[in-house]
């Protein structure tokens, strides 16, 4: 009898363990439910999206081991988090092992490029920022995935979901190299409860002498409102005065993205062509002369400095998460940043402003500098420019990987509609919305109920998804560079911008230094090569 009891106890322990370790479940209809690692949330992928590779009892990549690099963040960190959460399910589905190799953002490109160039081949894939793509594609370090996308064996997702603006930065020369994951672009966020409050609108008019310019149309409107609210305790979350805006300018981090986003409307002239002064921002596409110190860029930096005065002094040393937290604690009227803000606001453990959020495409400028005629042009309507600023952190596959299909199967699983939606609706994942399945009708196919079920506030969802739709489908976009050396050009810009933001350099001086540094980078990397890549990147026809 004692023996039987012992066996029963052992059996129950074993089955209990087995149940606890279940990471996938197959439905009778062929659907696949995957279970996340930490919170044990269930996501069901319909049978027609699962692909034929996976199935009950199938382990198509058994014995294989792949290594994927990603930004440091851990199991609940931005971009890295989803890899951790879906690893057990993917391993159970494939029989393969996944090594997640985390590294800090500034280390990722140097480490992976060194690995590839020296032929060490430690990594099978990379979750990389879109601006790295030139470094990977042109030497043949990564492979296109169009064949895999069209292969019914793999989990199914559709590149047609991308707006053109985002599709471009996942492709190179007409071929798709990166799978759907994150969609980066910066929009303007504000405290809708405060700016629509009649009492505050009256107070603004009394103090300033004109009605509050809300909804904002231009950066000057943002500056005027930020100036009014800065230093006032307009939110009763604490006894301290609050700020008009919050940004982040820590050097060697991601502060330069603020400048790119804001300056676009002073620099990028709309039109049907691409030339020095139309749909262009970085270099003269005929000569590779840096344009970063042109009057449009300089004026934008002056405006950015003016706007930054109405934020906390500490933002000069903050990275993005510190800026976000300040906004989510209800300490700033405005911020302009990535989609993470809108989704993190929905997390009551981090945010005090759920249901109080407004969002729109970033405002414009009524002046834009013509870099051909060297004159300012005054416009009746603001020049509003959308952006894909940021990394749009995307999965790519090393051409030297012995297991490319296993890598793609992981990326494709994460790109399926149910998994992608799960990611975008949870702020901590760092996966931001930007494709048609993220937008509400008539812009897309997502449902308000879906967001509400995920814990979102309905008003916040409507502002947020419309803002991102308007941004990614804008008529005029800030051109995205991802040529060889983009990281170097941006680091030089970032350092000089930071010097300007703390007042050690004047805007003109900071951007002149940047232009000089860019000339040096171009010269060192080879003018002809850089020029050819830039022309391809912006679609310039010589």
Q: Which residues bind another protein (CB under 8 A)?
A: 106-107, 110, 113-114, 117, 139, 249-253, 312-318, 322, 326, 487-488, 491, 495, 498-502, 504-505, 513, 521, 524-526
Query: To the nearest whole angstrom, how small is the minimum distance from the Cβ of residue 501 to another protein?
Result: 7
3-state class (DSSP) for residue 392: coil
* Nearer to another protein among residue 47 and residue 529 (C-beta): 529
Contacts of 512 (CB under 8 A, 6+ apart): 293
Tell me the C-alpha to C-alpha distance, in Å, between residue 242 and each of 212, 215, 336, 345, 483.
18, 21, 17, 18, 41
Query: To the nearest whole angstrom, how small is the minimum distance from the Cβ of residue 312 to another protein?
Result: 7
The CA distance from 357 to 475, in Å, is 25
Query: To the nearest whole angstrom, how small is the minimum distance from the Cβ of residue 319 to another protein?
Result: 9
For residues 355 and 196, the answer to whether their CB atoms sit within 8 Å is no
The CA distance from 71 to 156, in Å, is 26
* Nearer to another protein among residue 184 and residue 487 (C-beta): 487
The CA distance from 261 to 187, in Å, is 9
Query: To the nearest whole angstrom, how small is the minimum distance from the Cβ of residue 498 to another protein?
Result: 4
Residue written as token pair 């997390």: 347
Query: To the nearest whole angstrom, how small is the minimum distance from the Cβ of residue 33 to another protein?
Result: 40
Residue written as token pair 């004109």: 210
Phi-psi region of 127 (alpha: psi -120 to 50; beta: other; left: phi over 0): beta
* Nearer to another protein among residue 316 and residue 461 (C-beta): 316
* Nearer to another protein among residue 101 and residue 435 (C-beta): 101
* Nearer to another protein among residue 110 and residue 402 (C-beta): 110
Query: To the nearest whole angstrom, how small is the minimum distance from the Cβ of residue 241 to another protein?
Result: 11
* Nearer to another protein among residue 312 and residue 395 (C-beta): 312
Query: To the nearest whole angstrom, how small is the minimum distance from the Cβ of residue 503 to another protein?
Result: 8
Query: To the nearest whole angstrom, how small is the minimum distance from the Cβ of residue 272 to another protein?
Result: 37
Query: To the nearest whole angstrom, how small is the minimum distance from the Cβ of residue 428 to another protein?
Result: 20
Helix (H) and strand (E) counts for the chain?
Answer: 21, 15
Indicate the helix (H) or strand (E) that contains 301. helix 295-308
* Nearer to another protein among residue 65 and residue 117 (C-beta): 117
Phi first, then psi, for residue 141 (nearest 5°) are -80, -20
Task: Report which of 362, 188, 370, 184 is spatially closest to residue 270, judged by C-alpha positions.
Answer: 370
The CA distance from 375 to 373, in Å, is 5
Per DSSP, helices labelled H in 96-218 are 105-117, 133-137, 146-149, 164-168, 192-195, 198-208
The CA distance from 119 to 140, in Å, is 12
* Nearer to another protein among residue 111 and residue 196 (C-beta): 111
* Nearer to another protein among residue 22 and residue 313 (C-beta): 313
């Amino acid at each position: 009898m004692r023996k039987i009891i012992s066996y029963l106890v052992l059996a129950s322990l074993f089955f209990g363990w087995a149940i606890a370790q279940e990471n996938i479940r197959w439905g009778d209809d062929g659907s696949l439910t995957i279970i996340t690692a930490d919170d044990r949330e269930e996501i069901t992928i319909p049978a027609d999206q699962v692909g034929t590779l996976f199935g009950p009892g199938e382990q198509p990549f058994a014995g294989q081991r792949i290594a994927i690099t990603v930004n440091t963040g851990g199991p609940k960190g931005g971009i890295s988090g989803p890899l951790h959460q879906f690893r057990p399910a993917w391993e159970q589905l494939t029989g393969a092992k996944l090594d997640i190799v985390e590294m800090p953002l500034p280390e990722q490109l140097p480490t992976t490029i060194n690995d590839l160039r020296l032929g060490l081949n430690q990594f099978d894939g990379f979750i990389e920022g879109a601006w790295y793509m030139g470094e990977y594609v042109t030497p043949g370090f990564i492979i296109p995935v169009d064949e895999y996308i069209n292969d019914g064996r793999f989990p199914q997702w559709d590149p047609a979901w991308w707006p053109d603006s985002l599709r471009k930065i996942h492709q190179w020369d007409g071929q798709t190299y990166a799978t759907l994951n994150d969609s980066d672009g910066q929009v303007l966020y504000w405290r809708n409860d405060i700016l629509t409050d009649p009492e505050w609108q009256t107070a603004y008019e009394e103090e300033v002498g004109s009605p509050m310019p809300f909804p904002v149309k231009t950066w000057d409107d943002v500056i005027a409102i930020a100036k009014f609210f800065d230093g006032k305790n307009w939110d009763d979350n604490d006894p301290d005065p609050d700020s008009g805006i919050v940004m982040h300018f820590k050097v060697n981090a991601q502060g330069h993205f603020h400048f790119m986003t804001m300056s676009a409307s002073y620099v990028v002239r709309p039109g049907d062509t691409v030339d020095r002064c139309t749909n262009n921002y970085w270099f003269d596409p005929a000569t590779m002369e840096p344009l970063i110190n042109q009057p449009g860029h300089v004026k934008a930096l002056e405006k950015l400095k003016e706007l930054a005065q109405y934020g906390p002094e500490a933002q000069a040393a903050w990275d993005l998460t510190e800026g976000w937290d300040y906004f989510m604690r209800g300490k700033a009227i405005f911020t302009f940043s990535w989609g993470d803000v809108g989704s993190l606001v929905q997390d009551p453990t981090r945010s005090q402003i759920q249901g109080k959020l407004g969002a729109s495409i970033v405002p414009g400028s009524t002046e834009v500098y013509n870099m051909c005629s060297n004159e300012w042009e005054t416009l009746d309507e603001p020049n509003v420019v959308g952006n894909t600023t940021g990394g749009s952190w995307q999965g790519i596959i090393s051409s030297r990987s012995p297991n490319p299909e296993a890598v793609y199967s992981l990326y494709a699983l994460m790109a399926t509609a149910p998994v992608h939606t799960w990611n975008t609706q949870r702020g901590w994942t760092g996966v931001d919305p930007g494709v048609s399945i993220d937008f509400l009708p008539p812009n897309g196919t997502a449902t308000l109920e879906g967001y509400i079920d995920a814990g979102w506030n309905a008003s916040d969802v409507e502002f947020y998804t419309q803002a991102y739709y308007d941004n990614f489908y804008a008529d005029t976009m800030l051109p995205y560079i991802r040529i060889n050396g983009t990281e170097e050009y941006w680091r030089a810009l970032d350092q000089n911008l930071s010097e300007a933001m703390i007042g050690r350099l004047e805007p003109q001086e900071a951007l002149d230094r940047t232009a000089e540094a860019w000339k040096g980078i171009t010269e060192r990397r080879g003018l002809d090569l850089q020029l050819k890549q830039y022309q391809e990147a912006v679609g310039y026809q010589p």
